[in-house]
Structure 1
Amino acid sequence: MPTALITGITGQDGLYLSELLLAKGYDVHGVVRGQNNPKRELVRRLLPDVRLHNGDLTDLSSLMRALRDSRPDEVYNLGAVSFVAYSWENAFVTSDVTAHGVLNVLEAVRLHEDDAGSVRFYQASSSEMFGKVAEVPQHERTLLWPRSPYGVSKVYGHYMTINYRESYGMHASSGILFNHESPRRGPEFVTRKISQAVARIKLGLQDELVLGNLDAQRDWGFAGDYVEAMWLMLQQPVGDDYVIATGETHSIRDFLDIAFAHVGIDDWTPYVRQDPRFMRPAEVDQLVGDASKARDVLGWKPRVSFGDLVAMMVDADLEATQQGW
């Protein structure tokens, strides 16, 4: 059976990708940072067939051990400090993990290949690399103009992946994924912050939802759809870069409209307050992707609509809140 090693396996993408690969008959391994990582038990509970290895993106030797012990055919680098707002507060840590961590994984794979043969590599790039967008929609050749330490770090990892592909002949692909959400999204992200608040407001447990910019526009898809694109990239004859997106753009206001309407609240304005503290120092106003290359080459397209995604997240948080999870 094929073997895959996933960094960032405790995040939403890592969990969905693990489920996909297990269903395809893979032997799945994951790198987890810290022996007492509280998310380790989550992976063991949801994915008991996954084998976990201690490792850290900032520690090359630990990554080499994980590769030696798992001997993967495919490596998916999903690990990162991925919360944009946090990257402004901790730019150094973000750069160390999200930028230099990619170099560490690439170098570990390159050195491992000398002993074990070819390994296919996937890098989780991001639409945040486009930042102050030079054109709409954005595609694989659009100018990268990041507007946050997170975006800058992702650009570094993206170009480092291209350099290893071109310099060493590695089968290395970057998925430039636009925003993708799910009930497994971290509560610090605005989409999950909204779905949790809507559930609590509906149940009478919360009175107010405080947000930043309501007019920012994003291209939102379902994480479960997007991990399939990751896998498809590594099944191609050669590595390449692909934008993964729905091609639709929606504002935070659109998300609020659907989320509140789903629980029977037609006017959300009495419950939502804007606070300058939640505004980004440099905003990314409109992100919308052109995924025609992924559609033509990979045969990939999103399945879950924006409205269904929002309803899915609200329903999951309603159930979790009612059950006291």
Structure 2
Amino acid sequence: MRGGKRLVRNRHNLQAAHLDERIWRARWDAARWFLQADGEAGKRYGNETIRVTPDGEVSIRLPAPLAHLANAPHCRYVLSARVRFAHRRAEWADRVHADRAVAYRIHLDPDRDRWYLTASWQTSPALAIPLQAALAQGVIGVDTNADHLAAWRLDVHGNPIGSPRRFRYDLSGTADHRDAQVRHALTGLLAWAKSCGVRAIAIEDLDFQAEKTREKYGRRKRFRQLVSGLPTAKLRARLTSMTGAAGIAIVAVDPAYTSKWGAQHWQAPLTGKTRQTTRHDAASIAIGRRALGHPIRRRTAPPPAHQSDEQWHRTAQARPGARGREETRPSDTGSRTGCMPPDRGENAGDQCAQHRSGRTAEQLLLSL
């Protein structure tokens, strides 16, 4: 019997257990007043018998002899009270949105005279896969902004495919509303990644926890507010749990100069009459190329014939092993021999900063 041995011993020793017969009888009955159902993967909200919607509505599917008691279609009885999980609520919501199995148990607490609903599920450990295997089908570069995620799909060679996508969210209102907005945006991002067959998502390794003070940015109040509004920690935690369940890898890259160099090398070439490429879209390409190990600078066409070099430079992009391949080429204002040092040109700059950590991408979570 459920609770039989312990409650039976208390029944024969009511004084030692500090109980009377009425309280003992209430506990004895409560041990048998329960309803539980195992989860079912693929069913709506992860359970067909006891269904809990994301907003807390609980409904029970009644058997055929009790179908006359249903107050909702399809032989379901909807409870008047709403539930809210205080512990690991975000993880539960991720599973419910993905229709993954969640087991529920409804039971009575006789001491508090209150009914409770307990949710449980089984988690499987994530299997790490090599970075090359995750990037075999390309990558989706994601640029994080205060009100949306700008994403663009790239092939294994770093070329953008199709059109950019934007997944918007509104971070105003209550904490539950903000959490739901972030989850909704990430759900759309993961659904798009699955439809494309991409197994990796590249994001910037942003962390503004200690770098959003006045000492860091001075009197730039609007910029400090913008930095504080970026949901970096919430996105990181939510994306880690959701991608682990979806079998998609996360690749974190160095965020240095992704917006600046993306706009410099990719915004204008991808802007046309039918598509207006924004700075954020170009930054997503820069993030994806850095995750793939390619430089951000795009390959340009060879110079025309009958000039000083006579087509000696076939492309503006050097070989991967060449030194200074990320540096800006000298300007044309020097001598015709091209002997001007690289750091003296009109548009000179050091783009090797993206490789200052020794690697272009860092593997945060790669799971199947």
With normalisation by structure 1, the TM-score equals: 0.29
Q: Which has the higher helix share?
A: 1
Larger relative contact order (Cα-Cα within 8 Å, sequence gap ≥ 6):
1
With normalisation by structure 2, the TM-score equals: 0.27
